[in-house]
C-alpha cells in the first residue's frame, strides 16, 4: 500500500498539532512582508486594490535582536586542545558565526530553528539549517526534544508540469543505545500537499533508507533553538513563540496606520482645478492636436492641473488638502511604543521622541529592558550551542560517517561538555566611558596596564606586553643629583624663592 500524506503532521510519528504550524506559517508571511492587498472603493464606487505600504517591524525587530545576541565577534572554545582545534576548523569552514546570526534572525521571527551536522562527499563536516517550518518534533516534552523529522522540499519539471518532492529525515531512538536515521521521499503535483511516498532513487540515488547505530550515538544528532518564554497558544508544545504570535494586533495597527499615511501623501499631491477648455489643445483641421500656431498652454510634464467642467464663472481653484503628518506620526509612534513593550525592547528603540535618535548604548542606559530580553535569549542560545557542538563531536567521533571509516576525534558524550561561549557585549558598553573608567583603575594601581590595553585596544597578550615594555623604556630617568639639588639632606626644599 502506497503511503500518502496531506500534511507532515498527518504522520503518526509526529507529535505536534497542525495548528502550531499554521501559526508559524502566518508568522512567516509577516516576516516576508507577504500580506494581503488593501481593497477599497474609489470616488466612483469602483472596487480597487493595491499593495499595502508596511513597515515590516517583524523583520526589523528580529534583525535587531539577532545582531545584539550573536555576531561575528562571538567565540566558541573547548577546554580540550585537540577537540578545540577540530571545532575551530569546522566553525571556520562553515562560516558559522555569520550563518548563525542570519538563521537566528528567522528563528526569532518564527519562534525557533534547528541545525544538524552531516558529512559531505569530501568527508567534511557541514552544518545544515532548518527554519521552524522544516522541523517537526516526534518524542518530546516541553523542555527537551529527543526525536524529530527534518523536511526539505525541492521542485522539478516533469512532462512540462511542476512536481514537488519532500524529503523527510527522521531521527529516532530504539531504546537507550540504538539511534536510527530514516529517509523517506514524497512526490506531489500540488504545492499544498506532501504527496505519495516514492523511491529515494528518483532524485537521491545512493541515499540509504535507514541507518542504524548500535552503542555509538549517545546524544541526538541535531540541536533545536526555541525562543524564551512559554508557548501560550499550546501549553504542551515544545515549539517557541515568534515575534508575531503575541504582537499581531499591534503590528497590524502599525501597518494600517503607515499604509494610510503613505496613501494620503500620494493622494494629497498638489491639485489645481481649471476649466477644461484651458487644457484642450488647439483645433487643427478638426483634430485636437498641438502645432506651432496652437501650442500647449502648460508644460506637458505638469500633472498638478485637472480639467473640470463648469459654467463660465468657474475659476482656477487649488484643491490641495493638508496632509495630517503630525497626527499620523503620533499614532505610529504610539503603536511602536506598544510594540517595543510587547517584544521586550527598551523604550525608544524604534519609536521617536521628537528630540533625537538614540544609540543602542543610550537606550540601554536609560532602560535595561533590551538587555534583560537579550539575557533571556542568551540562555537559550547557549543551550542550543551546547547541543550542536555535542552533535558535531558525535559525528566526528563516529567512523561510519566517513568514507575511510576513520573517526576524526575521540569523544564521549556522557562526559560533561566544557564549552565556553564568549558573547560580544560591545553594543551595550560606552567604549569611551569604559576607557576612562579603566584608565582611572590603572592610575590607582588596581588594573594591570596589560589588561587595560587588551580590553580597550584589541591587542593580543604579546602585543600588550610589548607596548608596556616600550613605554617603560621611553620614560625619562630621574638622577639622584637632580633630587639633591632640589631637596636638602633633611628633605627640606632648598629651591630658589
Domain for residue 98, yes or no? yes
Q: What is the mean pLDDT of residues 179-196?
A: 96
- Tell me if 122 is assigned to some domain: yes
CA–CA distance from 384 to each of 50, 379, 381, 390, 484 (Å)? 42, 9, 5, 10, 68
- Domain holding 35, by residue range, is 4-243+373-422
User: Residues 55, 133: one domain?
Assistant: yes
Estimate to the nearest angstrom the gap between the alpha carbon of 144 and the chain centroid. Answer: 23
Segments in 344-479 forming alpha helices (H)? 360-366, 369-396, 431-443, 449-457, 461-474
- Same domain, yes or no, for 168 and 237? yes
- pLDDT the model gives residue 360: 53
Higher pLDDT, 160 or 277: 160
Cα 480 to chain centroid distance, Å, stands at 65
The confidence score (pLDDT) of residue 186 equals 98
Q: Is residue 349 part of a domain?
A: no
pLDDT of 300 reads: 55
- Would you say residue 482 has pLDDT above 50? no
**Model pTM greater than 0.85?**
no
Whether 280 is covered by a domain: the verdict is: no
Residue 256: inside a domain: no
At 41 the pLDDT is 84
Rounded to the nearest 5°, which phi and psi values hold at 421?
Answer: -115, 120
My answer on whether 219 and 151 are in the same domain is yes
Instruction: Of 111-125, 281-295, 360-374, give the lowest mean pLDDT range.
Output: 281-295
**DSSP per position, 140-191:** B-SS-B--EEEEEEEEEEETTEEEEEEEEEEEEESSSSEEEEEEEEEEESST
Q: How many domains does the chain have?
A: 2
Mention every residue, 6+ apart, whose C-beta is less than 8 A from residue 32: none
If you average pLDDT over residues 409-434, what whole number do you get?
Answer: 80
Which of the two residues, 464 and 90, has the higher pLDDT score? 90
**pLDDT per residue as tens digits for the range 322-352:** 778 889 899 999 999 999 999 999 888 888 7
Answer yes or no: is 294 within a domain: no
The least confident of 74-78, 246-250, 482-486 is 482-486
- Is 64 domain-assigned? yes
The yes-or-no verdict on residue 206 having pLDDT over 60 is yes
* Predicted local confidence at residue 285, as pLDDT: 46
Do 459 and 409 reside in the same domain of the chain? Answer: no
Same domain, 399 and 436: no
Cβ contact 137:236 at 8 Å: no
Amino acid at each position: 500500500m502506497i503511503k500518502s500524506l496531506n500534511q507532515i503532521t498527518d504522520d503518526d510519528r509526529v507529535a505536534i498539532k497542525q495548528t502550531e504550524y499554521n501559526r508559524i506559517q502566518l508568522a512567516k508571511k509577516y516576516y516576508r512582508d507577504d500580506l494581503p492587498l488593501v481593497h477599497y472603493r474609489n470616488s466612483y464606487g469602483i472596487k480597487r486594490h493595491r499593495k499595502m505600504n508596511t513597515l515590516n517591524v517583524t523583520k526589523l525587530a528580529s534583525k535587531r535582536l539577532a545582531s545584539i545576541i550573536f555576531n561575528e565577534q562571538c567565540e566558541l572554545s573547548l577546554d580540550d586542545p585537540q577537540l578545540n582545534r577540530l571545532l575551530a576548523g569546522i566553525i571556520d569552514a562553515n562560516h558559522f558565526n555569520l550563518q548563525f546570526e542570519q538563521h537566528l534572525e528567522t528563528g526569532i521571527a518564527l519562534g525557533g530553528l534547528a541545525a544538524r551536522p552531516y558529512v559531505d562527499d569530501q568527508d567534511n563536516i557541514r552544518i545544515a539549517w532548518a527554519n521552524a517550518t522544516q522541523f517537526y518534533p516526534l518524542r518530546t516534552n516541553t523542555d527537551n526534544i529527543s526525536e524529530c523529522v527534518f523536511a526539505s522540499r525541492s521542485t522539478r519539471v516533469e512532462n512540462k508540469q511542476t512536481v514537488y518532492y519532500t524529503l523527510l529525515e527522521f531521527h529516532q531512538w530504539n531504546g537507550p543505545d540504538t539511534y536510527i536515521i530514516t529517509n523517506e521521499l514524497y512526490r506531489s503535483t500540488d504545492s499544498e500537499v506532501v504527496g505519495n511516498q516514492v523511491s529515494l532513487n528518483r532524485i537521491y540515488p545512493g541515499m540509504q533508507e535507514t541507518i542504524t547505530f548500535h552503542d555509538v550515538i549517545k546524544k541526538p544528532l541535531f540541536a533545536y533553538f526555541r525562543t524564551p518564554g512559554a508557548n501560550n497558544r499550546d501549553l504542551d508544545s515544545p515549539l517557541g513563540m515568534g515575534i508575531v504570535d503575541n504582537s499581531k494586533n499591534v503590528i497590524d495597527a502599525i501597518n494600517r496606520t503607515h499604509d494610510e499615511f503613505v496613501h494620503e501623501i500620494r493622494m494629497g499631491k498638489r491639485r489645481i482645478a481649471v476649466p477644461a477648455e484651458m487644457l484642450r489643445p488647439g483645433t487643427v483641421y478638426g483634430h485636437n492636436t498641438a502645432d506651432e500656431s496652437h501650442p500647449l498652454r502648460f508644460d506637458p510634464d505638469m500633472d498638478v492641473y485637472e480639467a473640470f467642467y463648469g459654467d463660465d464663472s468657474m475659476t482656477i481653484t487649488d484643491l490641495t488638502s493638508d496632509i495630517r503628518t503630525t497626527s499620523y506620526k503620533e499614532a505610529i509612534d504610539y503603536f511602536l511604543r506598544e510594540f517595543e513593550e510587547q517584544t521586550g525592547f527598551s523604550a525608544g528603540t524604534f519609536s521617536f521622541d521628537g528630540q533625537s535618535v538614540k544609540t543602542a548604548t543610550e537606550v540601554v542606559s536609560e532602560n535595561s529592558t533590551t538587555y534583560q530580553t537579550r539575557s533571556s535569549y542568551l540562555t537559550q542560545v547557549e543551550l542550543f550551542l551546547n547541543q550542536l557542538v555535542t552533535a558535531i563531536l558525535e559525528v566526528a567521533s563516529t567512523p561510519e560517517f566517513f568514507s575511510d571509516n576513520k573517526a576524526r576525534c575521540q569523544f564521549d558524550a556522557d562526559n560533561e561538555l566544557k564549552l565556553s561561549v564568549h558573547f560580544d557585549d560591545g553594543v551595550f558598553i560606552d567604549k569611551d566611558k569604559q576607557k576612562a573608567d579603566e584608565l582611572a583603575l590603572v592610575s590607582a594601581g588596581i588594573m594591570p596596564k596589560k589588561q587595560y590595553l587588551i580590553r580597550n585596544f584589541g591587542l593580543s597578550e604579546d602585543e600588550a606586553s610589548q607596548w608596556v615594555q616600550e613605554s617603560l623604556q621611553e620614560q625619562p630617568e630621574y638622577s639622584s643629583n637632580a633630587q639633591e639639588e632640589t631637596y636638602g639632606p633633611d628633605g627640606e626644599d632648598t629651591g630658589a624663592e
